[in-house]
Amino acid sequence: MAGFSPRKLSFSIIFLGLMTVLRSQAALDVHYYDRACPEAEKIIRYTILNASMHDAKVPARILRMFFHDCFIRGCDASVLLDSTPQNQAEKDGPPNISLRAFYVIDDAKTKLESACPKTVSCADIVAIAARDVVAMSGGPFWNVLKGRKDGRISKASETINLPAPTFNVSTLIQSFTKRGLGVKDLVALSGGHTLGFSHCSSFQARLHNFSSVHDIDPTMNPEFAETLKKKCPKPNKNGNAGQFLDSTASTFDNNYYKQLLAGKGVFGSDQALYGDYRTKWIVESFANDQSLFFKEFATSMVKLGNVGVMENGEVRLNCRVVNLGLEKKRENERE
């Protein structure tokens, strides 16, 4: 009988892990809809562009929606499902209550169902839309791998697993590692904050009674902190008050990283990236070279889009309802 070999076991684990990654990637294909729905990306692009012309906040909201979807059950459009009397869905979990622009995905889905019924998944719509809002905001363009299926499960309780704006670097690394993403992916994808706005509730703890020693987070630029304190007084009676996450918030650029170098990161989790040796050098690299940031961001977005790819899901006819639920809803309406 052959003896136990740790070396063989290690090789087997690596091999199985590699096969899992390959199967995940094999399920997706840049040309997935070339024959079944050749106009799919064009339809999504024009829908996103039209919505963005009417509401300048759409790009940031769509990009955030993609992150929040992929970080829970993988990129399966579970964040789009509405709550039911029997289940509170992800979109109603505390970190997602501020998510917006679901109507844009609904609009794209309606047009796609008219052009090529039962073909394009809601998960692929979100992935393509995220790429398009980055590109139309001045950021990089990449080929989106397609062929995702839509999930049937969405639980608000699972949103506790989303990275929080109060996380330190160690906690952030753990969160990203669980999704197969490395330290460089963490720093690159955090650059998505170059588009966006945050309400005071996500960062005001840094401005008032931060610790027993400091009233204000000492990693924050003092002048910047005073500016934020005026916008977010204590108590804050304006629920709409907040701050753009970088000074060029409608343009996808590397200004976010330059702000971190100046101590002007809005979230504690953002500023922490510049205060930790594991991430500081990457922040500096991206701040000094926008083309490098664009390249790494696109690479990391493709990796994030591969997280939790479903092979046994469905193509929802309505992004807000699983197909079985939609059928029951229509039956009730007929009755």
Residue 171 binned pLDDT confidence (cut-offs 50, 70, 90): very high
31 is annotated as an active-site residue: no
| Set 54, 68, 208, 214: catalytic member | 68
Q: Check pLDDT > 90 for residue 212.
A: no
Q: Quick count: other Cβ atoms within 10 Å of Cβ 202?
A: 21
pLDDT at 332: 53
How many residues are given for the chain? 335
The binding site for Ca(2+) comprises 69, 74, 76, 78, 90, 194, 248, 253
In terms of pLDDT, which residue wins out, 100 or 335? 100
> Which position has the higher pLDDT, 18 or 326?
326
Mean pLDDT of 42-60: 96
Q: Over the chain, what is the mean pLDDT?
A: 89
In a domain, 216, yes or no: no
* Block residue for tokens 């062929």: 147
pLDDT for 309: 84
Specify if 25 maps to a domain: no
Any domain includes 127: yes
CATH number at residue 289: 1.10.520.10
What interhelical angle do 290-305 and 277-288 show, nearest 10? 120
**What pLDDT is recorded for position 108?**
98
Residue 85 CA, chain-centre distance (Å), reads 27
Annotated binding site: 69, 74, 76, 78, 90, 163, 193-194, 248, 253
Residue 314 lies in a domain: yes
Number of domains in the chain: 1
Strands (E) in 111-200, as ranges, are: 197-199
For 99-138, write each residue's pLDDT tens digit: 999 999 999 999 999 999 999 999 999 999 999 999 999 9
Contact at 8 Å (CB) between 24 and 88? no
**Whether the Cβ atoms of residue 27 and residue 309 lie closer than 8 Å to each other:** yes
User: Which residues line the annotated binding site for heme b?
Assistant: 193
How far, in Å, CA of 273 to CA of 280, rounded?
A: 6
The 10 Å CB-count burial string (b at 16+, else e) for 292-302 is: ebbebbbebbb
Q: Residue 223 falls within a domain, yes or no? A: no
Q: How far, in Å, CA of 137 to CA of 132, rounded?
A: 8
Residue 1: per-residue pLDDT: 40
Nearest Cα neighbor of 40 from 29, 27, 52 is: 29
Q: With 50 as the cut, is the pLDDT of residue 8 above it?
A: no
Q: Please say if the pLDDT value at position 246 is more than 70.
A: yes
By residue range, what is the domain housing residue 257? 39-196+245-322
